Amino acid sequence: MKKVILDVDTGIDDALAILLAVKSGQFDILGITTTSGNISLDKATTNTGKVLKLLGKENGIRVIKGANQPLLRKPFFEERVHGEDGLGGALKDMEVDISDTENACDFIIEQAEKYKGELSIILTAPLTNMALAIRKQPKITSWVKELVIMGGAVKSPGNTTPLAEFNIYIDPEAAKIVFHSGIPITLVGLDVTRKALLTDEHISQLEGSDIGAFVKDCTKHYIDRYHEVNGIRACALHDPLAVAVALDRKIVATEKLYVDVETKSTLCDGQTVCDFKGVYNKEPNIEVCLEVNSDKFIEMFVQILNS
Ligand code: BDR
Ligand code: CA
């Protein structure tokens, strides 16, 4: 079984990504590390614990807290998208106790060393924890097998600024460190995640279980917001698509390209600049997802959550 760590800022779609990863039964999940991003570190950590409790895994999978702010910048929370609590009000009365006291950065280093060449890390949040781990233990770059990152937009507009996607925009300095680390990376950006749309009809196919009820509850707010901004009654499964790519790479078409991150511009900070024409003459560093089989992905999502 593939050994994985999930790095999250739970968040509605992070919650759905955790459901998909755990319910798939195809990962040995060593732990879930949390970071500040969509919401504060504490809320993201609590929400992660709640999702695991819903899955009956509160004692089976560790939740390890990480960075409470980006490397250099101030946090910027997306409560408009995820609600004040980060889960659109779902599971609001559930109590959880996160007692793990290890730090995410140390946990990532320790697991990467223990499982050299075997560890996949799926990151669906700003890349702060991963950048801190690389900075603290540079050898990790040859220990980690791969990173699957939900982040960036190489051909399409951003969702936080006209050019930048949220996870990269929040901590572009961290993204730069990670992108140039030499670890094999697959980038699952808005170019494909915007095509991974969950509709009310898909949600109705999940009815009849606690998980289905949770999906319905937490996506209500998310769909309302997506509708307001994009005019479509659906929501993009950004983070679940990254998990799905780690499960089955065949659902996307990728190209290995050179990608860098802008960190020094007023207008363009957080932009993922992709050198399609090779004008920088630099070695491609990232396997970029350019197409997705959306139907196959949604089918997989619904089937795994119903299993
Ligand atoms: C990403 O930003 C967050 O709001 C979501 O959880 C996802 O990880 C999409 O741009
Ligand atoms: Ca996220």
pLDDT at 248: 98
192 touches ligand 1 (CB under 6 Å):
no
90 touches ligand 1 (CB under 6 Å):
no
DSSP bridge pairs for 286: 257
Gap between the Cα atoms of 88 and 84, Å rounded: 7
pLDDT at 233: 92
pLDDT in tens, 34-73: 999 999 999 999 999 999 999 999 999 999 999 999 999 9
- The question of whether 239 is a catalytic residue gets the answer no
DSSP bridge pairs for 147: 121, 185
Looking at the predicted structure, is the pLDDT value of residue 225 above 90? no
Residue 78 — very low, low, confident or very high, per pLDDT cuts 50/70/90? confident
Looking at the predicted structure, is the pLDDT value of residue 195 above 90? yes
Contacts of 223 (CB under 8 A, 6+ apart): 200, 233, 234, 235
188 touches ligand 1 (CB under 6 Å):
no
Per the CB < 8 A criterion, the answer to whether 248 and 143 are in contact is no
194 touches ligand 1 (CB under 6 Å):
no
Gap between the Cα atoms of 15 and 167, Å rounded: 16
Q: Atom 10 of ligand 1 has which residue's CA nearest to it?
A: 166
Residue 203 — very low, low, confident or very high, per pLDDT cuts 50/70/90? very high
225 touches ligand 1 (CB under 6 Å):
no
Select from 12, 38, 81 the residue to mutate for testing ligand 1; criterion: most ligand atoms less than 8 Å from CB.
38
Give the distance (Å) from ligand 1 centre to CA of residue 237: 9
81 touches ligand 1 (CB under 6 Å):
yes
- What's the CA angle centered on 250, arms 182 and 223, to 5 degrees? 95
Around Cβ 114, how many Cβ atoms within 10 Å? 12
Strand pairing category for 252-257 and 286-292: antiparallel
Q: Which atom of ligand 1 is nearest to the CA of 165?
A: 10
Looking at the predicted structure, is the pLDDT value of residue 230 above 90? no
Give the distance (Å) from ligand 2 centre to CA of residue 157: 18
Q: Assess: ipTM above 0.95.
A: yes
Looking at the predicted structure, is the pLDDT value of residue 167 above 90? yes
Around Cβ 231, how many Cβ atoms within 10 Å? 7
Q: Could you give the 3-state DSSP secondary structure of residue 267?
A: coil
Average model confidence (pLDDT) across the chain? 96
Residue 87 — very low, low, confident or very high, per pLDDT cuts 50/70/90? very high
Give the distance (Å) from ligand 2 centre to CA of residue 7: 9
Gap between the Cα atoms of 229 and 231, Å rounded: 6
Please give the residue that has the higher pLDDT: either 5 or 82: 5
pLDDT in tens, 7-19: 999 999 999 999 9
Per the CB < 8 A criterion, the answer to whether 49 and 62 are in contact is no
The residue annotated as part of the active site, out of 7, 9, 171, 191, is 9
| Mean pLDDT in residue range 230-239 | 93
Give the distance (Å) from ligand 2 centre to CA of residue 8: 6
pLDDT in tens, 94-121: 999 988 889 999 999 999 999 999 999 9
| Mean pLDDT in residue range 156-166 | 96
